[in-house]
Amino acid sequence: MTDQPAFQRNQACALDLGWVNQIKVNRNAADRRAASLASRRTVKQQYQAAWLIKAVQCIDLTTLGGDDTPGRVERLCMKAMRPLRADLMHALGVSSLTTGAVCVYHEMIAPAVAVLHGRLPVAAVSTAFPAGLASLETKLREIALSVAAGASEIDIVITRQHVLTGNWQALYDEMLAYRQACGEAHVKAILATGDLLTLDNVAKAAWVCMMAGADFIKTSTGKEGVNATIPVALTMVRAIREYHERTGFRVGFKPAGGVASAKSALQYLTLMKEELGREWLEPHLFRIGASSLLTDIERQLEHYVTGNYSAAHRHAQP
């Protein structure tokens, strides 16, 4: 068996407008592929339990409310470090388990860092999240402050007007500036796909952000009218696959917004496995941005262990 090459962060390359402008997505084909995922029989019993444990490992456990408090964030972090009850862990034969990261606003980085002590990454939403309508100088300063406060991952939002007007150079320059401002912190580019109107725009925005050095591309802020969907996810992961084929760099994918059930998490895991392969089922290349998803996964795992479903309120809320 040959050794796998060491993982390398995505590096910016020159913007290839010729490539970007020729991108077309077959909407009907994307919808058919998405429907095939939704209609197929899901994995069952111990196989489903194993997949759900993998989903837990890939969750960015998130709180992004205007009423967030340090106490809420501390509870979120404790849940992230112990996402399942001890009795379920024992029954499942799992000795240790955490989520992939916690995701908070800038003001909540300090309480998260104080609880986690580096045991899990802290991701901060940035660049005037969720609308992104602030000056570039303000947004770059926000990134710098979040990195200084201890965030090791930065979830930025792109300026949607660059996509809607086809100004790919402006989007590339913006994303390149964000990547440079993040330094050693990994950067996830939120495309806000519900605002981009077409799958062609989604694919082009994904390519431009990857060319500018995005480590992850992410569907949504969770605040748009339409957030993560399977056709959008399919479009983005196929862009990731082709980008890897062209450049050799692996870019991560993060669906976010509306991924609230174990069933939907399994669909995204299946999509990643079938379109990108086993390597993309690890937290350094796949995350699910969610707040309530963990509760449903825990309920499903309790059903597997005991044969009974419990009420959601019996499970600790993140």
Task: Please tell me the distance from the alpha carbon of residue 7 to that of residue 4, in angstroms, as a whole number.
Answer: 9
CA 9 to chain centre: 16
Predicted confidence at residue 1, as pLDDT, reads 38
Domains and CATH numbers, the chain: 23-306 (3.20.20.70)
Place of tokens 């993140």: 318
Query: Which of these is catalytic: 60, 79, 139, 155?
Result: 155
Q: Backbone phi, then psi, for 96, in 5-degree steps?
A: -150, 145
**By the 8 A CB rule, do 309 and 299 touch?**
yes
Predicted confidence at residue 94, as pLDDT, reads 95
The SS3 assignment for 159 reads coil
Q: How far is CA 38 from CA 33, 133, 267, 280, in A?
A: 9, 36, 7, 20
The SS3 assignment for 253 reads strand
Closest among 104, 181, 105, 168 to 136, alpha carbons compared? 181
Task: Please tell me the distance from the alpha carbon of residue 37 to that of residue 116, in angstroms, as a whole number.
Answer: 36
State the DSSP string of 40-75.
SPPP-HHHHHHHHHHHHHTEEEE---TT--HHHHHH
Q: What share of the chain is helix, strand, coil (3-state, %, to 5)?
A: 50, 10, 40
| Catalytic annotation present for 24 | no
Query: Which of these is catalytic: 79, 139, 204, 218?
Result: 218
The SS3 assignment for 242 reads helix
Neighbours of 259 (CB within 10 A): 25
Task: Please tell me the distance from the alpha carbon of residue 277 to that of residue 182, in angstroms, as a whole number.
Answer: 28
Predicted confidence at residue 318, as pLDDT, reads 57
Predicted confidence at residue 132, as pLDDT, reads 97
Predicted confidence at residue 317, as pLDDT, reads 58
The SS3 assignment for 132 reads coil
Query: Which of these is catalytic: 79, 139, 204, 254?
Result: 254
- Token digits for 177? 């500036």
Q: Per-10-residue mean pLDDT for the chain, 318 residues long?
A: 65 96 96 86 87 98 97 97 95 96 98 97 98 97 98 98 98 98 98 97 98 98 95 97 97 96 95 96 97 95 88 61
Predicted confidence at residue 312, as pLDDT, reads 63
| Catalytic annotation present for 204 | no
CA 102 to chain centre: 11
Task: Please tell me the distance from the alpha carbon of residue 210 to that of residue 165, in angstroms, as a whole number.
Answer: 19
| Catalytic annotation present for 188 | no
Predicted confidence at residue 266, as pLDDT, reads 95
Predicted confidence at residue 43, as pLDDT, reads 81
The structure's pTM equals: 0.94
CA 59 to chain centre: 8
Predicted confidence at residue 315, as pLDDT, reads 60
Q: In what order do the strands lie in the sheet with 288-290?
A: 252-254, 216-218, 186-190, 153-157, 122-125, 101-104, 59-62, 288-290
